[in-house]
Amino acid sequence: MILAALLLAASLALGWTLAARLTRKNQLAFAFPLAIAAGAWTLFLASLAIGFNDYSIVAAIILQAVAAAVLYGQKKPSLEHDKRIVALLVAGILLFTALQYARFHYDANGNLAGIPIDFGFHSAIITSLANGNFPPQNPFYDGHAFNYYYLTHLYSAALLKGGFPLQAATWIPIVLASAAFIALLYLYVRKLFPKREHAAVAYLAIPLVLLNGTLAFWVATPTTEFFHNALRNTGFPFENFLIDILIINQSAVLGAVIALMILLLIKEKKNTSAAILVGTLPLINAPFFVLGLSFLLFFTSIKQKIIATAMAVPQILLLQNQNNGVLSNITLHFGWMSQNQDILSILLFWINNLGPYLALSLVALYFLKNKEINKIYLTLLLPAVLANFFIFTPYAWDNFKLFLLFFMFIAILSAYALIEIWKKGSLAKIFALVLLSTMTLTGVLSLATLANHSEGLSYTRADLEACKWIEENTPKDAVFLIDNDHVQSCLFATVGRRVYLGFGEWLTNHGIDYTKQLEENKQMLAGNCSLIKEKNLTYAYFTPNVKPSQGLENQSVERYASQSQVVLELCKKT
């Protein structure tokens, strides 16, 4: 516990002293994300040198403390804050703590409850890293390097290894970064629209970004559940920003807030600082790196572009090597996830997904006639246009992330347009309210559905007891055999054990062809002990919905059995 607390304190100190170099006021809004990013990078570099362990955490604490002391001596941080920023930060911390509780908590009966979507994936990265899986092997695909950006997970893993419980280790980076996102969004909009008469635009932009929704409510039935990805393949894939980016996705949160800082810094002509932040992004979140870099290209000098590129290239090479040539998966497809490829169908697809936002943003551009805002709009539009012509990711929906900065900007412009409409009279006010409701209704319904499912069981008490036994009685680097598509287990999510082959969808979505390993997994589950020994597997884990085959059971020793939870030590009788 002390080690984790010292790490967090050192990171916050460094984040604050870094923020002092970027802004005179409202430094905490910058300090929170800078603290997590600087802490994660310091841990990563220390771990490359001496491995990920207690010593590298101590080294990261010392390095951050020394850096904070040096920076403090050069320029002292300020406590000068706009009261509205402090209020937004406090409200953000409370809001996102509640939302993260809904995502992941333990109920009164000892079950792990919350929103299961992608929880096992992100939690497994954290717990696997905490067990010493560094540089990380894929927790779900034994023997292969991990093809994912994981620095935010590494910071949570250090907090976990340092003594914080899994909940706190998972929540803290997300809550701090998400709260900062709200405050920085407000600051950015005020920079774009500094006049007092436009103050309301900054407040309205926050719900328009966080509660965005499609027109899916027009085709909904009384039984429709607006749950995360339920409408993804029905023509409404542009999902809610708050849920998909700030609640569920462990890596995207920090990427989003750093990308927003980049926009704000470039607006304030602090381009070198923006370039450095872009250079840190590939291992934090690759899609936001792409978006940040594309923005940087049009607003900075050659020297600043070189700084960002030099920092990013080693990370890109590492990710490309681990992704086994994922860039070769680029395919031509018009209209992102539009099922039909004719122009009318693509136009209807975008009306259904972003229609009011796009229309209002164009209205705002027409009335503003501001060259700088026009340039920002066109710059952010470029990656969105490319993502509308090409699928850049193995899983087509992941192109969604390449639209996000453009979406954020048109949400800001929509807020401006709605405020201007509101000023035109009583009928205009009604029209503005109808538009606002249309733009956010699906987002609100999605959030309500999320809350309604927040007591769903991810893992039962019996699951957790079995996993606790595994944690206490098997090596941390043990690789388990499981029935990959039928065991969504605390085995990897809470105790960080790797598996020979995990959930197929997670592998497919990251461009991994696991056909050969799937066949081998089936053979080993059937009792092929020669293959099990060749693959150096020692244990198998079975949950109540999956029983071990007689062939495997006859050759193995049962080490744990309780409430249909079974752990076998493999092939001990042969």
d(Cα 337, Cα 339) in Å, to the nearest integer? Answer: 6
Number of other residues whose CB lies within 10 A of the CB of residue 10? 23
Can you give the pLDDT at residue 276? 97
Assigned token pair, 220: 């909904």
CB neighbours (10 Å) of residue 321? 11
Nearest alpha-carbon partner for 504 in 119, 121, 116: 121
Tokens of 127: 């717990």
Look at residue 325 in the predicted model and tell me its pLDDT: 44
What's the pLDDT score for residue 574?
64
Q: Rounded to an integer, what distance in angstroms lies between the CA atom of residue 514 and that of residue 208?
A: 40
Q: What is the token pair recorded at 425?
A: 């009279």
Contact predicate 30/188, CB 8 Å? no
pLDDT string in tens for the chain (574-residue length) = 899 999 999 999 999 999 999 999 999 999 999 999 999 999 999 999 999 999 999 999 999 999 999 999 998 888 888 999 999 999 999 999 999 999 999 999 999 999 888 899 999 999 999 999 999 999 999 988 887 899 999 999 999 999 999 999 999 999 999 999 999 999 999 999 999 989 999 999 999 999 999 999 888 777 777 776 778 888 899 999 999 999 999 889 999 999 999 999 999 999 999 999 999 999 999 999 999 999 999 999 999 999 999 999 999 988 876 554 445 568 888 999 998 989 999 999 999 999 999 999 999 999 999 999 999 999 999 999 999 999 988 889 999 999 999 999 999 999 999 999 999 989 999 999 999 999 999 999 999 888 888 888 889 999 999 999 999 999 999 999 999 776 668 999 999 999 999 888 888 888 888 999 999 999 999 999 999 999 999 999 998 888 888 889 899 999 999 888 899 999 887 6
The reported pLDDT for the residue numbered 326 is 46
Classified as helix, coil or strand, 400 is: helix
Cα–Cα dist 129/8, whole Å: 18
Query: In DSSP terms, which residues pair with 331 in a beta bridge?
Result: 391
- Cα–Cα distances (Å) from 285 to 19, 356, 406, 531, 536, in that order, read 21, 29, 17, 37, 33
What are the two backbone dihedrals, phi and then psi, of residue 141, each rounded to the nearest 5 degrees?
Answer: -155, 85
Distance separating alpha carbons of residues 557 and 320, to the nearest angstrom? 41
Sheet holding 565-569, edge to edge: 498-499, 479-481, 539-542, 565-569, 557-562
